Amino acid sequence: MSEEKHKTKDRLLDAAESLFASKGFDDVSIRELAAAADVNVAAVNYHFQGKENLFQQVIVRRFVGQRDNTLHALDGILSDPANKPDIAQVIKTLVEQYLKSTLSSPGGGSFMLLVAREMQSQKHHGSKTFFKEMVMPVFRAYSMALMDVRPGLKQEQINWIMASIVGQIHHFIMRWHKKSGFDARSEEIRMMIRMFPALGLSMDEYIAQVTDHITAFSTAAIDSLYPEVSP
Amino acid sequence: MSEEKHKTKDRLLDAAESLFASKGFDDVSIRELAAAADVNVAAVNYHFQGKENLFQQVIVRRFVGQRDNTLHALDGILSDPANKPDIAQVIKTLVEQYLKSTLSSPGGGSFMLLVAREMQSQKHHGSKTFFKEMVMPVFRAYSMALMDVRPGLKQEQINWIMASIVGQIHHFIMRWHKKSGFDARSEEIRMMIRMFPALGLSMDEYIAQVTDHITAFSTAAIDSLYPEVSP
DNA sequence: ATATATATTAAACATTTGTTTGAATTTTGC
DNA sequence: GCAAAATTCAAACAAATGTTTAATATATAT
């Protein structure tokens, strides 16, 4: 096995990531994948022993990197001796990392949408370890970070807070992607933008505004519901 | 056409609602529908001219009722002269109605999940008027209610607030439904409950706790971000 | 260079999908 | 009661799906 790029297996993984992200697992056929990667239809089964397996490897391949990025970003603000991290900083880091990952996918696909879908679908294409290896570490790290900056918070309270934050993130991701599913000049798009003007922005601006909003909204809620114990 | 119940068309609509809600549009075959309703496979096309059309009629049939219930519930707290409504009351009504609808579906299916899916999917099986007839009126009514109880709020701010609330609602609905997709004794379920203990509750208790949390969380955020102008 | 393992290919396979057909059956209007 | 309309039915249809096969080509190693 050589070190060259553009081998069949890699092209397949790239095409699969982009296609799965933009259309979901069920709506991508093996023939579609093969055509996009410019390989034979049998290649999927030869190299990955099936469509499900390919999907899993797609998730693992990129999510491992994203997970480490997210954990590293958090570590950056926590371990900087010149920085006294507050709760807004932790939340902003989480939201920003989550949303930024949406852009970083090759082919313009939304990788984190793939994850959001997987986390919400009652079908389980991902590996059994997806939850354990991918979701849990990030959840734990940010839980501990929240406890760090707000020692009064109990685990149960953090569970609810995290759910509210992640729920908002997913919703704004889905909203953007839903918009992308319509014709740019359709009536539906005009209605959506009228109902939510931020959808008319560029993706970068959208991410920036969404990040600011979720951070402000959630921080305000936490500060008000679970006020810091005075020193 | 008689007034009798249990006619083919109605049985088909009932079976479709339950099946679509629990599995989604694509994962329900016409043969599955026919078997569940105990009718011939051709009945779907004879009575509804296709699967998509059946889906639309399923959504419209029930959602019209839900929409009116939701609007009526809101009207109830706004027009009661003995009641001075506050922002928590409005939000709680929205969340509660939304979540309650999850239970009211026949066959134990989650009807609102169907709606949540439709609102998030980039595929558009619903009618073109789904957005205009179903989503917009509820959105508008609650927007106006929020403006009523908090005159200082601008439309743009309400857009963001509503998005955060609806995002949380959808997330908690999805979370419950995701749990239902696993074996009750599986390792995944144990992990999910450990990460979020409320999932171990009964559905009624889950709805009650989620309602309380979203209401408290969002109200706190709004009060803090956009404090009431002092009289 | 040659034998052996690896990779690619076109074709076929077995299912499943939504839909249609045309005959049989039931209901309706008179 | 009977003709006409509406409904039900088993069967077939065309298209798409994931996967497998067996032949061919390419690369690897000795």
Please name the member of A131, A168, A195 whose beta carbon is closest to the beta carbon of B139.
A195
Task: Return the closest-CA partner of residue A99 out of A218, A17, A201, A206.
Answer: A206
Q: Which tens digits make up the pLDDT trace of B131-146?
A: 788 888 999 999 999 9
| pLDDT above 90 as % of chain B | 56
User: pLDDT-derived band of residue A188, with 50, 70 and 90 as boundaries?
Assistant: confident
d(CA B103, CA B187): 26
Q: Hey, of B98, B117, B118, B160, which one would you mutate to test binding to chain A, going by the most A CBs within 10 A of its CB?
A: B160
Q: Hey, of A27, A99, A120, which one would you mutate to test binding to chain B, going by the most B CBs within 10 A of its CB?
A: A120
User: pLDDT-derived band of residue A172, with 50, 70 and 90 as boundaries?
Assistant: very high
Residue B47 lies in a domain: no
pLDDT of residue A175: 86
Residue B31 lies in a domain: no
Q: Which residue has the higher pLDDT, B74 or B2?
A: B74
Residue A38 lies in a domain: no
Residue for token digits 């949303």? A99
φ, ψ for residue A191 (rounded to 5)?
-65, -45
Kindly report the CATH number assigned to the domain that includes residue B189: 1.10.357
C1' of C17 to CA of A158 (Å): 45
Structural domain total, chain A = 1
CB–CB of B124 and A218 under 8 A?
Answer: no
Residue B203: domain span: 57-225
Q: Which tens digits make up the pLDDT trace of B16-51?
A: 998 998 888 999 999 999 999 999 999 999 999 999
Interface of B with A in 155-194 (CB under 8 A): 156, 159-161, 163-164, 166-172, 174-175, 177-178, 180-182, 187-188, 191-192
Task: Return the closest-CA partner of residue B151 out of B77, B231, B81.
Answer: B231
Residue B40 lies in a domain: no
Residue B167 lies in a domain: yes
Q: Which residue has the higher pLDDT, B211 or B103?
A: B211
Q: Which tens digits make up the pLDDT trace of A90-108?
A: 999 999 988 887 666 555 5
User: pLDDT-derived band of residue B3, with 50, 70 and 90 as boundaries?
Assistant: very low
pLDDT of residue B100: 82
pLDDT of residue B40: 97
Residue B198 lies in a domain: yes
Q: Does the pLDDT of residue B121 top 70, yes or no?
A: yes
Residue B17 lies in a domain: no
Residue A46 lies in a domain: no
